[in-house]
Structure formats: structure tokens, C-alpha cells
Amino acid sequence: MIYNKEKNPGWNFDNSYINLPNKLFTKTSPTPVSNPKTIILNKQLAKDIGLNIDFLLSENGLAVLAGNNTPEETITLAQAYAGHQFGHFTMLGDGRAILIGEQITPKGERLDIQLKGSGKTPYSRNGDGRAALGPMLREYIISEALHGLKIPTTRSLAVVKTDEKIIRERYLPGAILTRVASSHIRVGTFQYIANFGTLDELKELADYTIKRHYPNIEYIDNKYLLLIREMAKRQSSLIAKWQLIGFIHGVMNTDNMTISGEAIDFGPCAFMDIYDPDTKFSSIDRNGRYAYGKQPSIGAWNIARFAETLLPLIHDNKEEAIKLANDEIARFYINVNSFWINGMRAKLGIFNEEIEDENLVNELLDLIKNTKTDFTNTFKSLTINKLNVMQIFKTIEFVKWQEKWMARLDRQKESKLESEELMKSNNPSVIPRNHRVEEALEAADNNDFSLMHKLNNILSNPYEYSSEQDEYSLLPKDVQANYMTFCGT
């Protein structure tokens, strides 16, 4: 492809995955689409990763985002992986995604640029390799909202609409999402090589992963055990953050858990309105395996699957290896709880630690649950001290709780103003409300993208406490008791 000089794309590829054992990927190219159109481009992200916005908006740029052309300086591939889906082990792989390359950003970070929905690959199984517009815009909205909420996540660079008609329950417009991630190495990638590769190949993947994501442990004794520990630590922080803002991933299969600690794959995810640990939204999660309250234990289950793959590298004696791995799972539980309770303290404006804090937090959560109250708006109201609207604040239980809370705040040296600031940076003023997301997607289906742009804008700084955000934090008139999300589309 010939680029005009003013529109130097900014590619700075340094592809390293391709040097891993061949089993881990297949070189393949996107399948061209007809009549692509850019629906949304994340200009800030483009800039941050060193790409030229003018180029991306040009015909040549669109051709790359649509998979109709590939930059000369890269080799594209689909990654192999396996995974436990709802507890069942399956062969998977990038069935509808293709890695365009690893971009080295101006800050020196290495990021995968991947097209999702870009056509069949050798791992497509019975799938068509394609994605529909709604789900790709949904991934865009949710991933960028998580980023705004300061939660580690894969990012969305662009969504391109195509003229392909995607056959789902009905014909849907096709789309391709450009995803940017620290890497796409998953628990499932390790499961794949542990099951179908040699010990040397497993070691190569583990060494590569350490170099790429945990360079601080590269030269430490028993770095493979430390890989479990460090990965589990990032996951404990990630999942605690989900719990603290009421995010339900919805499909925490082991292929949807990254080793980097970023949230990935936003199919049936949603934010909880009324607080209830049993909340689930995914239509395919019939038994509530991935319900809100189960996320920490499912996280541990997934990390156990990860640890299993590394057993032969941890210790020659299998029993000993299992014991060491189990210690790391125990450590995960301790960490997730400690990240969570510290996050909860911050949500209540508490700076220091007291043993009784966990009881204080749980008493409030019980009250929110029993009064069937909105999770986000309870904390928002406490933050701005607006306690005259919601019913929960009129109960005797709340008044009693509030006295304890006030006494607790009085026992720390920080002022009420400092507490308020802490609360403001930990309690979002707005989250992607399910009805707002649906409303934006429905309009987008009818070629009106204005609602989506407005929503993205409002969600970009959720700790801003603007009046526009107040409007978007309202619940729909009839809270969707039966709100369902669908994945695999």
C-alpha cells in the first residue's frame, strides 16, 4: 500500500508472538468486506498509541480497519487457545478475530491491535467469523466506560459497519471492532499449550508472558510460581474493582480471562442496578455460575485452572507443586477481599483501617439489598449527601447505620471535605445503565449514532459529578427485573 507522506499511518509494529511455537497461531488474513463505513473512531486512543487520526479516517485507513487491506510491515495471525466454557473444556481460538500486529506506542508500551469480526479463521468451528453492529458497539461502549471508571480493560479503537448481512436470529448489519489490548494471552492459551504442546513449548509461552507482562520476576527463583502469584494479584484487583462498581462480566470462561489482568470480552456483561449478589443478566448463564456475588470464587476457579497448567514448571514433585499452587489460590482470596474492603472504605470516605469496618460495610449492603435499592445511586447519594430522595434513607435502620458511619468518620484525622473528595473519586456519578445502552444501540441500528456518542461522552469521566450525568444515572421507570443480555452474536 502506498501512503501519502502527510498521512503516515504511524504504524510501529514489532511482532513478537509470531516467534512463539507454531502451534500457538495460524498466519491468516481478514476476509474483505463491501462498503465499510467508520461509525466511531477513538481519537484519543489513536493518538495515545501513536496512530495518525487523519490516516485512520482516510480511505486507506478505513481499508485497514475493515480488514480490506493490511499494512505491509506486518504479518497477521489468529491465535489458538482452549478454555473452560461454563465449566466444560473446549478447543477454541480466534474464530472471528485477527491480530494485525503489536504496536509499540510512543511511550514504549507493546499493544496488540486486533480486528474482531474480520472473517473466518482456522478456529472458526461452525461460526461465520463475523460480528453484528450492535454487539461491537456494545463492546466499544462498555470497554471505554470501564476505562473511564479506571478499571484495567482492553480498549476499543474503532467500529466499522459493513454491508455484510449477518445471520443471527434475524439479519443484522455486520461490523468490525478494532480492539487494543496489552496482549490476548489468556488462561485458555496456557490450557491449550499444556494440553496439546510439549513441556518446552509451555515453558516458551510462560517465559514470553513473563517478559511481556511481568518483567520484574524474570530473573527471580521459581518465576513460574511467581507468575501465578502476580497474575492472581492483578486478577484479584480487577475482580474487586468489578465488585466495587457493580459490574457483572457475565461470561468468565477461562478463555475470557487475560494473563495481563485486563478485562476482556464484553458480550453478556451489564451493570447491576438493584443490589443483589445473585444478579445475573446473561441469557445463557442459566444457573447463575457467573452471577455478581460469584465473581471472586469463579476468579479463583479460573486461576486454579491457570495454575494447573504450570504445575510441571513449579516443582518436580507433583504433590509439592499442587501445594504451592494451592497456597497461591488462598492468597488470591485474601487479596480480593483486602482490595475489596479497602475499596469499600474509600467508597465510604474512610482513610484508615479498623477491624469493624467490614461489619459497617456489610450492614449497609444488607440494607441496600433488603430495601431493593440501586447500588450505584446509594453510594452517589451518600457522596453528595443528598439523602432526601431515596426510600432507603428514610428507614430507621439507615439512620442507625448513619450514626455509626459518622462516628467512624469522626475517629479519623481527615476532614469531612477530604472524605467527600475520596468518595467522589471512588463512587461513579454515572455508569452505563442498561436502558441507556439499549437505547443507544437501538438508535444505531436505525443509523442514528448520536445517542451512542452522547452516552460515550457522558461515561468518559464518571467521577465528574456533572448535571448531565445526573440525568443518565436515573433508573428507568420500571426497573428491568428481567433484563437479559445475549452473547455469541
**Partner touching 94 among ligand AMP, Mg ion, none, CB below 5 to 8 Å by kind:** ligand AMP
CB 70 within 8 A of CB 64: yes
Between 21 and 95, CB nearer to ligand AMP: 95
Q: How many residues bind ligand AMP (CB under 6 A)?
A: 18
- Give Cα 361 distance to the centre of its chain: 26
Give least dist CB 64 to ligand AMP, A: 21
Between 184 and 229, CB nearer to ligand AMP: 184
Question: 439-466 as b/e, with b when 16 or more CB fall inside 10 Å?
Answer: ebbebbeeeebebbeebbebbeebbebe
Binding span for ligand AMP by CB under 6 A among 88-96, 318-326, 352-360, 459-467: 88-96
| Residues catalogued as catalytic | 255
**Partner touching 93 among Mg ion, ligand AMP, none, CB below 5 to 8 Å by kind:** ligand AMP
Options 256, 282, 419, 434; binder of ligand AMP; rule CB under 6 A: 256
Options 36, 267, 299, 462; binder of ligand AMP; rule CB under 6 A: 267
Between 256 and 335, CB nearer to ligand AMP: 256
CA distance 209 to 218: 10
Between 87 and 127, CB nearer to ligand AMP: 127
In the region spanning residues 292 to 351, those forming contacts with ligand AMP, defined by CB under 6 A, are none
Between 463 and 486, CB nearer to ligand AMP: 486
**What cell does 228 get?**
501465578
Matching residue, cell 530473573? 219
CB 399 within 8 A of CB 391: no
Give least dist CB 274 to Mg ion, A: 28
Between 302 and 335, CB nearer to ligand AMP: 302
Give least dist CB 132 to ligand AMP, A: 9
**Partner touching 249 among ligand AMP, Mg ion, none, CB below 5 to 8 Å by kind:** none
CA distance 375 to 245: 8
Residues within the interface to Mg ion (CB under 5 A): 256, 265
Binding span for ligand AMP by CB under 6 A among 101-109, 248-256, 407-415, 428-436: 248-256
CB 263 within 8 A of CB 151: yes
Burial of 240 (0-12, 13-18, 19+ CB in 10 A): buried
Give least dist CB 127 to ligand AMP, A: 2
Give least dist CB 184 to Mg ion, A: 9
Give least dist CB 272 to ligand AMP, A: 21
Give least dist CB 165 to ligand AMP, A: 13
Per-residue contact flags (x/-) with ligand AMP for residues 89 to 108, judged by CB under 6 A = ---xxxxxx-----------
CA distance 443 to 447: 6
CB 313 within 8 A of CB 202: yes
What is the Cβ-side half-sphere exposure of residue 458, based on CA atoms within 13 angstroms? 22
CB 412 within 8 A of CB 454: no
Options 102, 112, 262, 265; binder of ligand AMP; rule CB under 6 A: 265
Between 55 and 192, CB nearer to Mg ion: 192
Give least dist CB 268 to ligand AMP, A: 9
**What cell does 381 get?**
447519594
- Give Cα 363 distance to the centre of its chain: 29
Between 175 and 382, CB nearer to ligand AMP: 175
Binding span for ligand AMP by CB under 6 A among 201-209, 224-232, 249-257, 310-318: 249-257
Which residue minimizes CB distance to Mg ion? 265
Per-residue contact flags (x/-) with ligand AMP for residues 117 to 136, judged by CB under 6 A = -------x--xxxx------
409 belongs to the binding site for ligand AMP (CB under 6 A): no
Contacting positions for ligand AMP (CB under 6 A): 92-97, 124, 127-130, 251, 255-256, 265, 267, 487-488
